[in-house]
A and B are shown apart, each in its own frame.
Chain A
């Protein structure tokens, strides 16, 4: 089996940014800036640009497909995707039409990461009950994979009207719109991705990435158990690249602190400190530093976990547009070629084939 092609991308949640004097930009200006950032990403050789989905005052990523379509019109090569689409509270038919159309206008460059979402503001917003968290995602992923794989679809479920022998347009060319399942560490979610035979995207926003190795093994063994071929695995983590380690720390730290201070207040997390920031840089999940520092860390994590995709959630928080552009430039021109070089010397090892557990039932609902 040949190693899967490497994909080194960027993720953004569309943070509201500030200008050079620290004043927040207007939402429309912020959205246009992100389009410009994606255009630069394309020109410096970054493989993909992926936009999140939130409905909060400080995130402008509520309609990723519209931004991605604008980017598609101004780029030629870069893949255009999400990070992640909260499928639980969307209509899979609408997600299909939006992204199959994006695939057409971008000449085959659309991709998706779908997940349950780690923030849950979309549930009340769209009239869903958080108590149905598991069931909603399961049902919607089922319908979405059917739309991707075997149209016409005859389907019925609990949360939307049934479909009978339904074609949904536009039809996708075979193999288009690769759809990954985003997980945050729940073993049940890993097994579900394997059950559908979909590639796995690990969202690792803190702590040592090596702790995900057992989940990688679980994913491979579950794929085997369900009789699916090996699938690629990716990881999403936060980072910032500058000329030197010190410059990267100086630029990113205040915005990281501000962002996680807010999360600490809202979610009861430990307060951010410089000590924690430096510990995350050294042994955890922050990719912050010079191109060499960041490339070395990305390559070693990709090798450790057997990843073929890495998405840098670049410039956490309100980092100004100009400094976002600078980090994109360095990531594309210096980090990515260096990661490829490092992995060419020591390629991502194939995960050893492991035994198939006889105990997995054919149709568990996890």
Chain B
């Protein structure tokens, strides 16, 4: 079985920068077996992983893909096209990237994507099941805001994707990481999770997040 709800706690992370190492640390804390890669050979990130996400295994990107069915993509947005198109075939790929013109430069395809940048990522990796998530809260919230299921004050993270089983698997991951999970709908609804989107950059409860993402439903 690939990525429906499962007892499997293996997670792959591509990208060992601020975001990748932060998610790795949270996943280790939640009992996941985490493999993480940077650009190039594993030994280039060994010290970074050892200090910032002890317990995660620094490996090559190919090994990350072999390690898990659930993979987080957390490379700088202007570099995702360097990865092979079929690299994530059959995998649930969590797009945790954000497009920042100030950092990534002017990228007309990303800047003008009507369904958001994750649709462009899905087009780049057609054989992957892309879910947009883990991108809309400030990275340090992963350290300070994780709470057990049901705890008061728990904040929420949304997931948007066209493959509903993949979204369910990501929502299970979100819950295990210590956040309430909110289904944001199809992949192109993920535009609400992006910079300038309705919910970007602030902390919300599941109820607040749902109300912002589904205003019609909650006012009915």
Interfacial residues, chain A to chain B (CB-CB below 8 A): 118-120, 123, 129-131, 185-188, 191, 207-208, 211, 214-215, 217-218, 221-222, 225, 266-270, 357, 359-361, 364-366
Contacts and interface: CB of A to CB of B under 8 A. Distances in A.
Contacts of A120: 102-103, 105
Contact of A188 (B17, B50, B140): B17
A359 to B, nearest CB: 4
Nearest to A219: B51
Contacts of B102: 118-120, 266-267
Contact of B48 (A119, A191, A207, A270): A191
Contacts of A357: 46-47, 50
B143 interface: yes
Interface stretch (B125-133, B152-160, B193-201): B193-201
Contacts of B212: none
B140 A207 contact: yes
Given A218-B51, A267-B195, A361 B143 contact: no
Interface residues of B, number: 32
Contact of A187 (B17, B43, B202): B17
Nearest to B58: A359
Interface of B: 16-18, 21, 38, 40, 43-44, 46-48, 50-52, 78, 98, 100, 102-105, 138, 140, 143-144, 194-197, 200-202
Interface centre among A119, A186, A366 (most CB of B within 10 A): A366
A266 B16 CA distance: 27
A360 B138 contact: no
A187 B46 CA distance: 12
A214 B52 contact: yes
Contact of B196 (A268, A361, A366): A268
A276 to B, nearest CB: 9
Given A208-B144, A215-B52, A269-B201, 20 more contacts: A118-B102, A119-B102, A120-B103, A129-B105, A130-B105, A186-B18, A187-B17, A191-B47, A207-B140, A214-B51, A218-B48, A218-B52, A266-B102, A267-B195, A268-B100, A268-B201, A357-B47, A359-B47, A361-B44, A366-B44
26 contacts: A131-B78, A185-B18, A187-B16, A187-B21, A187-B48, A188-B17, A207-B138, A207-B140, A211-B140, A211-B143, A214-B51, A217-B51, A218-B48, A218-B51, A218-B52, A221-B50, A222-B47, A267-B102, A267-B195, A268-B194, A268-B195, A268-B197, A270-B201, A357-B47, A361-B43, A365-B44
